Amino acid sequence: MTASHQRAGGLTATGTPPLLDVNDLRVEFRVLDGIVKAVDGVSFSIEPGETLGVVGESGCGKSVTALSIMRLLDTPPAAIAEDSEIWFNGRNLLALSGDEMRSIRGNDIAMIFQEPMTSLNPVFTVGDQIAETVQRHRKQSRKAAWERAVESLNQVGISNPERRAKQYPHELSGGMRQRVMIAMALSCDPKLLIADEPTTALDVTIQAQILELIRKLQDESGAALLLITHDLGVVAETVHDVIVMYAGRVVETGTVDEVLLAPKHPYTEGLIASIPSKELRGRKLNVIKGTVPNPFNMPKGCNFSPRCPYRFGPCAEHDPRVEDARPPDVACWLYTPAPGYPVPPRTRPQPSAERRDLARALSTTEPVDRPQL
Amino acid sequence: MADPRTIETETVILTGDAAYGAADYEVALESLSQWQLAWRRYKKHKLALFGTGVLFMMIFLAVFGPIIVPFDDLDIRPVSQPGGEPPAATDLFGTDNLGRSVLALTINGARLSILIGLATALIAVTIGILVGALAGYFGGKADSILMRIVDLVLSIPFLFIVLVAARVFGSGDIVVLILIFGLLSWPGLARLVRAVFLSLREQEFVLAARAVGVGNLRIAFRHMLPNAIGPIVVSATLIVANAIILEAFVSFLGFGIKSTDISWGNALAKSQGTLINGNWWWPFFPGMAIALTVLSINFIGDGLRDALDPRSRV
Amino acid sequence: MIKFIVRRIFGFIPLLAGAVLISFFLMQLAPGGPASQMEQNPRITEEQIDRWLAKWCLTRGADFGSIAYEFAGWLGVINCQNEGVAVFFSEQGGLNILPTPLGGGDNGILHGDLGISTTAGRPVLDVVTERIPATLILTITALTLWVTIAIIAGTYAALRRYSFFDQALTLVSYILFSLPTFWLGLMLIFLFGPALHLLPTGGIITTREWSPFNTSQYWEQFGGDPIGAILDIGRHLILPVATLVAVNIAADSRFVRASMLEALSQDFVRTARAKGLTGRVVVFKHAFRNATLPIVTNVGLEMPFLFSGAIVTETIFVWPGMGRLFFDSLVNRDYFVLMGLLLFTTVLILLANLIADVVYALVDPRIRYD
């Protein structure tokens, strides 16, 4: 079931505007050695209450995209293009003043980060840090804010929340700290939760717990979720829709089933094929040949073409992205007829038995009952 | 099963590596030696260049000054006021209470002041490297004992012990003074060297050298020491600067070098007494020379710190 | 916390021991031995000399033979009036090493007997302790002032990195840092004294109007006109404090700047911003609080330099504190005072370090009853 979305503040098929609508986001970084186009024309949208995953390798621009939504980038080195738009609840976030943006952060949009160890201030108690957000946005008394903080800690499954709230970050384990971050993010009931690699820095055993927690809370609160990760397994478990990014551009969008079971873009295909699994035991691991392009020297045309095993005529010349594309969408000349080029005969890869097994391997989630660490 | 990735096209299927040469991936740098890179970084530091210039001027003064403007002990002339003559056409910097030209004093003083600074650094660096390397490389007991000594020396007020030592052992001898300064300046540097050695000790290249049978001393000095050059050089410049100021103060108080020799400190030695009468020129010019020299050394030290930091970018 | 403090104090013992050893060595260096030093001052009577030598277990014309014995006696561990095992016991019958009220002896360093000043003819303990207030006034005022200014300037520079203020601060810092302290003092004396006639050029009080500082007559006068007295001291305080502040502010403000920049680049600052907190709160509550940790450590490390600075300024400005006493004793070769000063300053420095450690432990919750 694919919902169809449109761009730029338009209405969806359901008639309500999307909660978040990123339109042609372009972010450049001016550094000593030149200009890096970290995000090069990214567009996507999220409905209220929906979940979207952003997948890609390190350096593909997914974190920068998230930070742009929050406007947390330092604007001397970073520069967001003037005609980029980020619509949230009917307002263009990129056009808001500093004060207006500050009242949205932590309040309507909340973000959790990758490193729970260093993302919490070591000299304040965790309760203080949560209560601080509540006080800032809800204008409540210290006592009321503190109570809300304890309540949030309880919601994220921390036992003994009154005692824990008085503890300092260094007294908690990694998994607990990430729960605190989540509690902090959800304490003001945001409409959108952005999670930037929330489990990457955690033990594998804790990862599943945290992801499950995020999903559960998101479900219960009705908030939308934007989950950023490089791990396809995480995506399979947690979100419904996904976009795949490569070198600053979106290459494929669709639901998790579509993209993981039947990937269209050669890059996505390569990503999924390279996941090791016990089904493929005994065989050489698949890789995507080559390396990511030099950020100062992006290839012309499709920026994946130098590594693409299917590349042909138009790939090195023309950017395959289409205006006003609708998901499920793929930025590839194999699927969009390139003007002036014959469409190559190519059999669309069908979900093979292999692939189905793979997909199943990716999406295994049995909720595990483990003691909190 | 047909390989779904077969395409019939006119173009050749290229794999990623061949499609882009290595040059596109790496920003090509001409291969420069470490020192050349460091020099490049150093040149970018405007203040450091200024400092280098001034320092060279001072050294030039120190070496050739006494030849150009000789200081004649017998140049004691009668003065009209207790504090000496103010600057005038005859004496650009004025005179001291004995009628000696402050200009001559300043120029002549450069030699001993700078010499003492450099010699102190030499001693301090030698001892500091030895102690630091031994402590950092061998660790254990040797480290504990040596570091206790370092801590002790660092806890006692530096000036206190220097002045007392100068008073007790001094009596105007330059060599003794240099020894005192040097023997008290090495602990800070030793600590730095030790830190570098400690961090390098566990690295692979040390283990590799050991595995091949390279002796301990050789490993320490040939392989590990070069990594510490950066902090050592920067530290050394600070020691020189410190020693110059220290010599000035000690000589000013009268406990430094003997009055028949001239250093910047000596030059303004008795000037405070008559300062109330307004003879600013007497302490001003030698002191200014000290300040300029120390300032240049500090700029140079800063430039060196940036230039030799292996983590800086070109 | 108490355990923490006690443990730190134990850690100081080797340093104290070192200082004690150096002091003893110092005293032995006096040409002709301590006795002949004291003989030079006619105000010290023969009896005083004899009595004191006996207490300290020293013999006239001492050689290095029984050094250990002398050291123990000088320290106050043994009572050399007795012989054999009884040497460890005092006249009163208790262990000699104990404090006097508890039955211990009354000789040596441990019991407060630091010898007699050869220049003043009075016990060293008195001579040194009466100088402490003046030094404290100078150093504490200077320290407070320069730390405050450094924090303000450094923080502002960190927030406005590469601005004109920041670059100017860096340049000025370099210049101030390179000036010899004593020379700066001299120039300031000239500028505000003979040139502008704005400020007094030395001393702590105006000698024409006030009795010497810290004498009983002075305090009587003080009681009569406390405001005037404080103002008078204040006027004399300006130049020496300015000298100390100018030189030290350079290094500290750069350090504060670096600490603030370090704190501002931490992840939790990004989290704070992501929560929608205002810039002011992020900087002053979150970043600054963390930056204070290295700053406290730094101030603690500066303590020895504080005393060195005091030596220089008190000498130049004839400030009647321990620094000036040090200089005078150097000139007069009064080794006992020098020895006493060394012990005092070592103890004061260790105390200051202890306070800095405690403050740090209070500020950083990661260090708790460690």
On average, the pLDDT of chain C sits at 84
CATH code, B264? 1.10.3720.10
Mean pLDDT of A89-114: 92
Phi, psi of A51 (to 5 degrees): -125, 135
Chain B contact for A33 (CB, 8 A cutoff) = yes
Total number of domains in chain B: 2
From A365-369, B279-283, C170-174, C220-224, the region with the lowest mean pLDDT: A365-369
With respect to residue B261, please indicate whether it lies within any of the assigned structural domains.
yes
B275 contacts on C by Cβ (under 8 Å): 186, 189-190, 193-194, 201
Nearest CA in chain C to A111: C274
Same domain, residue pair B113 and B201: yes
Given a contact cutoff of 8 angstroms between Cβ atoms, the answer to whether C15 and C343 are in contact is: no
- Judged by CB atoms closer than 8 Å, whether chains meet at A307 and B2 is answered as no
Question: Who has greater pLDDT, C210 or A217?
Answer: A217
Chain A contact for B9 (CB, 8 A cutoff) = yes
Same domain, residue pair B10 and B138: no
Amino acid A220 reads E
Mutate to test the interface with A, among B1, B11, B12 (most CBs of A within 10 A): B11
Given a contact cutoff of 8 angstroms between Cβ atoms, the answer to whether C356 and C296 are in contact is: yes
CA distance C147 to C143: 6
pLDDT tens digits, residue range B262-313?
Answer: 889 888 888 888 888 878 888 898 999 999 999 999 888 888 887 777 654 4
Mutate to test the interface with A, among B24, B44, B313 (most CBs of A within 10 A): B24
Same domain, residue pair B231 and B274: yes
Of B8, B16, B26, the CB nearest to A290: B16
pLDDT tens digits, residue range C327-356?
Answer: 999 888 888 888 889 888 888 888 888 888
A110 contacts on C by Cβ (under 8 Å): 274-275
Nearest to residue C107, comparing CAs of C50, C35, C57, C36? C57
**How many residues does this entry show for chain A?**
373
pLDDT at A323 over 80: no
Given a contact cutoff of 8 angstroms between Cβ atoms, the answer to whether B313 and A32 are in contact is: yes
Q: B29 in helix, strand or coil?
A: coil
If pLDDT is split at 50, 70 and 90, which confidence band does A370 have?
A: very low
pLDDT value, residue B12: 33
- Judged by CB atoms closer than 8 Å, whether chains meet at C268 and A119 is answered as yes
pLDDT tens digits, residue range B171-181?
Answer: 778 898 999 99
Of A288, A310, A348, the CB nearest to B7: A310
**How many residues does this entry show for chain B?**
314
Q: C273 in helix, strand or coil?
A: helix
Chain A contact for B3 (CB, 8 A cutoff) = no
Same domain, residue pair B237 and B271: yes
From A39-53, C69-83, C241-255, the region with the lowest mean pLDDT: C69-83
B5 contacts on A by Cβ (under 8 Å): 309-310
Q: B171 in helix, strand or coil?
A: coil
pLDDT value, residue B250: 92
With respect to residue B313, please indicate whether it lies within any of the assigned structural domains.
no
From B244-248, C149-153, C158-162, C302-306, the region with the lowest mean pLDDT: C302-306
Chain A contact for B17 (CB, 8 A cutoff) = yes
- Judged by CB atoms closer than 8 Å, whether chains meet at C277 and A136 is answered as yes
Nearest CA in chain A to B14: A309
If pLDDT is split at 50, 70 and 90, which confidence band does A324 have?
A: low
Nearest CA in chain A to C278: A102
Same domain, residue pair B39 and B61: yes
Given a contact cutoff of 8 angstroms between Cβ atoms, the answer to whether A87 and A21 are in contact is: yes
Chain A / chain B CB contacts < 8 angstroms = 54
Given a contact cutoff of 8 angstroms between Cβ atoms, the answer to whether C96 and C76 are in contact is: yes
- Judged by CB atoms closer than 8 Å, whether chains meet at B151 and C15 is answered as yes
Give the distance from residue B302's alpha carbon to the nearest chain A alpha carbon, in angstroms.
Answer: 22
Exposure string of B85-94, with b = 16+ CB inside 10 Å and e = fewer, is bbbeeebebb
With respect to residue B287, please indicate whether it lies within any of the assigned structural domains.
yes
Phi, psi of A54 (to 5 degrees): -115, 115
Cα atoms in the Cβ-side hemisphere of radius 13 Å centred on C45: 3
Burial (CB count <10 Å: 0-12, 13-18, 19+), residue A109: buried
Question: Who has greater pLDDT, A313 or A343?
Answer: A313
CA distance A50 to A53: 10
With respect to residue B199, please indicate whether it lies within any of the assigned structural domains.
yes
pLDDT at C369 over 70: no
Given a contact cutoff of 8 angstroms between Cβ atoms, the answer to whether A356 and A260 are in contact is: no
pLDDT value, residue B207: 74
Pairing of strands A109-112, A192-196: parallel
With respect to residue B65, please indicate whether it lies within any of the assigned structural domains.
yes
What is the domain extent for residue B274? 33-307
CA distance A65 to A38: 9
Nearest CA in chain A to C275: A106
- Judged by CB atoms closer than 8 Å, whether chains meet at A105 and C272 is answered as no
Residues contacting residue A139 through CB under 8 Å, at least 6 positions apart:
none
Given a contact cutoff of 8 angstroms between Cβ atoms, the answer to whether A212 and C303 are in contact is: no
pLDDT value, residue A346: 57
- Judged by CB atoms closer than 8 Å, whether chains meet at A344 and B27 is answered as no
Chain A contact for B276 (CB, 8 A cutoff) = no
Nearest CA in chain B to C310: B159
B8 contacts on A by Cβ (under 8 Å): 344-345
Chain A contact for B260 (CB, 8 A cutoff) = no
Mutate to test the interface with C, among A123, A170, A188 (most CBs of C within 10 A): A123
With respect to residue B124, please indicate whether it lies within any of the assigned structural domains.
yes
Of A70, A113, A123, the CB nearest to C365: A123
Alpha helices by DSSP H, listed for C163-319, are 164-178, 181-190, 216-224, 226-264, 267-274, 279-280, 288-317
Q: Facing residues of B95 across strands?
A: B101
CA distance B128 to A253: 63
With respect to residue B279, please indicate whether it lies within any of the assigned structural domains.
yes
| Chain A neighbours, 3+ Cβ pairs < 8 A | B, C
Give the distance from residue C141's alpha carbon to the nearest chain A alpha carbon, in angstroms.
Answer: 29
**How many residues does this entry show for chain C?**
370
Torsion from C-alpha of C112, C115, C118, C120, nearest 10 degrees: 30
Mean pLDDT of A32-48: 88
Chain B contact for A310 (CB, 8 A cutoff) = yes
* pTM metric for this prediction: 0.80
Same domain, residue pair B148 and B175: yes
With respect to residue B110, please indicate whether it lies within any of the assigned structural domains.
yes
Same domain, residue pair B95 and B189: yes
- Judged by CB atoms closer than 8 Å, whether chains meet at C276 and A104 is answered as yes
pLDDT value, residue B79: 72
Number of helices followed by number of strands (H, E) in chain B: 13, 0
Angle between helix axes B225-253 and B174-201 (nearest 10 degrees) is: 150
Nearest to residue A226, comparing CAs of A363, A358, A68? A68
Nearest to residue A310, comparing CAs of B5, B184, B293? B5
pLDDT value, residue B7: 33
Chain A contact for C286 (CB, 8 A cutoff) = yes
CA distance A250 to A235: 16
Exposure string of C221-248, with b = 16+ CB inside 10 Å and e = fewer, is bbeeeeeebeebbeebbebbbbbbbbbb
Give the distance from residue A266's alpha carbon to the nearest chain B alpha carbon, in angstroms.
Answer: 10
Same domain, residue pair B195 and B222: yes
- Judged by CB atoms closer than 8 Å, whether chains meet at B19 and A32 is answered as no
pLDDT tens digits, residue range B214-225?
Answer: 777 776 677 777
pLDDT value, residue A361: 59
SS (H, E, C) chain A: CCCCCCCCCCCCCCCCCCCEEEEEEEEEEEECCEEEEEEEEEEEEECCCCEEEEECCCCCCHHHHHHHHHCCCCCCCEEECCCCEEEECCEEHHHCCHHHHHHHECCCEEEECCCHHHHCCCCCCHHHHHHHHHHHHHCCCHHHHHHHHHHHHHHCCCCCHHHHHCCCHHHCCHHHHHHHHHHHHHCCCCCEEEEECCCCCCCHHHHHHHHHHHHHHHHHHCCEEEEEECCHHHHHHHCCEEEEEECCEEEEEEEHHHHHHCCCCHHHHHHHHCCCCHHHCCCCCCCCCCCCCCCCCCCCCCCCHHHCCCCCHHHHCCCCCCCCCCCCEECCCCCCCCCCCCCCCCCCCCCCHHHHHHHHHHCCCCCCCCCCC
Same domain, residue pair B26 and B114: no
User: At which residue do the structure tokens 């919750």 appear?
Assistant: C365
| Chain B neighbours, 3+ Cβ pairs < 8 A | A, C
Same domain, residue pair B97 and B222: yes
Same domain, residue pair B116 and B252: yes
Q: Facing residues of A195 across strands?
A: A112, A227
Percentage of chain C exceeding pLDDT 90 = 29
Of B13, B24, B313, the CB nearest to A297: B24
Give the distance from residue C302's alpha carbon to the nearest chain A alpha carbon, in angstroms.
Answer: 24
Nearest CA in chain B to A351: B4
Same domain, residue pair B26 and B40: no
CA distance B261 to A245: 76
pLDDT tens digits, residue range B16-46?
Answer: 333 333 333 333 344 557 777 777 777 777 8
C174 contacts on B by Cβ (under 8 Å): 47, 295, 298-299, 302
User: At which residue do the structure tokens 């010499």 appear?
Assistant: B115
pLDDT value, residue A345: 57
pLDDT value, residue C198: 83
Given a contact cutoff of 8 angstroms between Cβ atoms, the answer to whether B50 and B292 are in contact is: no
pLDDT value, residue B314: 36
